[in-house]
Amino acid sequence: MNYPPRIARAAEPESGGTNPLVIDSTTLMGGRRELIIRHGEETYRLRITASNKLILTK
């Protein structure tokens, strides 16, 4: 059975009065080591390194 991604809102409001969206990295990556993010006309690559760190590159 497919379950929806686990997404939660931060409990403490920031100074702007809005809470940032919090998504677990395992949910975001969906079992992959790398994903592509499109932001407007730009493309970014988010990957998990061999030392289990997240790297975002343009």
Position 48 in a domain: yes
Cβ within 8 Å of residue 10, ≥6 positions away: 19, 20, 22
Ramachandran class of 51: left when φ > 0, alpha when ψ lies in -120 to 50, beta otherwise = alpha
Cβ within 8 Å of residue 6, ≥6 positions away: 23, 24, 27
The whole domain housing 49 covers: 7-57
CATH number of 21's domain: 2.10.70.10
Mean pLDDT of the chain: 85
Domain count of the fold of the chain: 1
Give the pLDDT confidence score for residue 18 in this predicted structure.
84
Position 21 in a domain: yes
pLDDT tens-digit map of 30-52: 999 999 999 999 999 999 999 99
Instruction: Using a cut of 0.95, tell me whether the model's pTM lies above it.
Output: no
Position 1 in a domain: no
Alpha carbon distances (Å) from 36 to 8, 49, 54: 22, 15, 13
Confidence band for 2, pLDDT divided at 50, 70 and 90: low
22 pLDDT exceeds 60?
yes
57 pLDDT exceeds 70?
yes
